[in-house]
Amino acid sequence: MNTTATQPLDKLKIFSLSGIQMKTFHITWLMFFVCFFGWFGLAPLMPTIRVELGLTKPQIGNLIIASVASTIIARLIIGKLCDVWGPRKTAVRLLLIGSIPVFCVGLAHSYTTFLLFRLCIGIIGASFVITQYHTSMMFGAKIKGTANAVTGGWGNLGGGVTNMVMPLIFAAIVGFGFTKAEAWRYAMIVPGVMMLIIAFVYHRYTKDTPAGNFDEIGHSKAEAKKTDWSVLADWRVWALTLAYACCFGMELTFDNVASLHFVDSFHLSQSSAGFWAGIFGFMNIFARALGGIVSDKVGGKYGMRGKGLLLAGVLLLEGLGLILFAQAGSMLFAIISMLTFALFLKMSNGATYGIVPFINTKNVGLISGIVGAGGNLGGMLFGFLFKSSSITYAEAFTYIGYVVIAVSVVILITRFTKVFKVGEEKSVDDLAVAEI
């Protein structure tokens, strides 16, 4: 019997579909990609929706907050459900339930109903936790950071693609003779259908672990239901939560406001604004993966302390880049500074989850959920700045830049090392962590 087929992989064969590990790798990032596409499918269409529904700036701010607020709770719950049900069942159920508000948001004809649908759609953002959990199951300790960063980055790529593609779908529907008010509603059917398709694929072609599904390998649900709340006393978990709030939280915020910012500040058309907002998201194709790869390399040479220093460094550069972007007086400088802070923001995403799987190897799902929820908490809190009538978008970006720099200092002084208690039994994964 080939034991490699039932064990986590030590190498990322990125162009391979051989073995359950690599099939799961590609399907889980595609699942997150599709969810991200549905999650932010409305963002590039907001210039049209704003006019049709007569939305004010504070109301748009509330929509930004709603789109990420529900994901905070959902990510905490999904992390635990992965431990109990397994990532496969959790993903399929999330996709099926999450597709309902994506299909139905077109029924909204007022600010209130639109707000409620945005709140419900936000739950599909919890798919990120499934992706990180499932990838951690399929790969060994020395490659976890890279694998998690690639799946997370390629999934986040959905935010860039939806900014580019949804205005084109919208334009095509208008070309068929529908009004703009009808077109944005019908456009959301596309991500809904995509979610149903990927639900079938996830159920059919993935397994919870290389050895099989939880119910096939005797996974103890009773044991999984015992939540280890001791992780809440670990400062490193909260430091990483702050870090993720500042990188992924900012990414969510930018995906929501970029098109409106480019339309209002630089007078671009909806399609052009969506294109440039999409470029920001498209950097996920390599930047988040780069953060994970560098994290693994640094960890191999300098240990967990090196991983922490890397995260502090890229957060600092993200914050500085944000401040530059806020000061942009021309579209050219705005694009250059956007690409600069986007590179370090997405590297920060990867570097954060290059550390997460090693904080407590027995509670990967719970910690992934807590840190992941931190990203959405950051997005929600940043949303209040963009809601304010007295703060411009440029000022909001500046304030966030200062917050990111402050959190980089917190990460700098946090000691990311695996400390074993006297007499504590060490698993294979624990030993691998100690080695790096």
pLDDT per position as a tens digit, 226-269: 667 788 889 999 999 999 999 999 999 999 999 999 999 999 99
Q: Is 176 helix (H, G, I), strand (E, B) or coil?
A: coil
Per-residue pLDDT at 144: 83
pLDDT in the model for residue 217 = 83
Per-residue pLDDT at 359: 86
Q: What counts of helices (H) and strands (E) characterise the chain?
A: 18, 0
Residues of the chain with pLDDT under 70: 1-4, 220-227, 418-436
Instruction: List 209's β-bridge partners, or say none.
Output: 212
Count the Cβ atoms, other than its own, within 10 Å of residue 35.
31
CB count within 10 Å of CB 393 equals 17
pLDDT value of position 361: 74
Asked whether 351 and 311 are in contact (CB, 8 A), the reply is yes
Q: How many Å apart are CA 146 and CA 294, to the nearest integer?
A: 8
pLDDT of 433: 44
User: How high is the pLDDT of residue 1?
Assistant: 45
DSSP track, 12-72: --TT---HHHHHHHHHHHHHHHHHHHHHTTTGGGHHHHHHHHT--HHHHHHHHHHHHHHHH
